[in-house]
Amino acid sequence: MFMPAKLSPREMIGTKLLMENDRVRIWELALQPGERTTLHEHEHDYVVVQVHGDRVAVEPHPDTKSIYKRYQEEPVIPGRSIYVEKGGLEVAYNSGNAPYLELIVELKD
């Protein structure tokens, strides 16, 4: 039986932790149109796999350590995989008109 780790709200980079071991965490991020995540920090490199939706945005916090410092909005391409380095302090935002779903593979080592 999978028992999720105790994580602070800032460590919750997805809406549901699906799996965790010593090397990875796999998250689901599901957002309704107009919905935002809480402010969260990416302490590890990760891979995002877009599943469905039409538009998604990232709102970086001024203290982010990511190379992405400005609001960024993109069309969703189901199946697109994006590798992102650690350091982001941000809010994800469903800027589209359709429910958004992605999987996040957080690389712990």
What is the model's pLDDT at position 2? 52
Average pLDDT of the chain, as a whole number: 93
pLDDT digits (tens, 9 = 90+) for 15-61: 999 999 999 999 999 999 999 999 999 999 999 999 999 999 999 99
The rounded percent of the chain whose pLDDT value lies above 90 is 86
What is the model's pLDDT at position 1? 44
- B/e letters for 17-54, b = 16+ CB within 10 Å, e = fewer, are beebeeebbbbebbbeeeeebeebbbebebebebbebe
What is the model's pLDDT at position 27? 97
The answer, yes or no, to whether residue 3 has pLDDT greater than 70, is: no
Which amino acid is located at 31 in the chain? L
Give the domain ranges of the chain: 9-89
What is the model's pLDDT at position 4? 57
User: Are 60 and 71 spatial neighbours (Cβ–Cβ below 8 Å)?
Assistant: yes
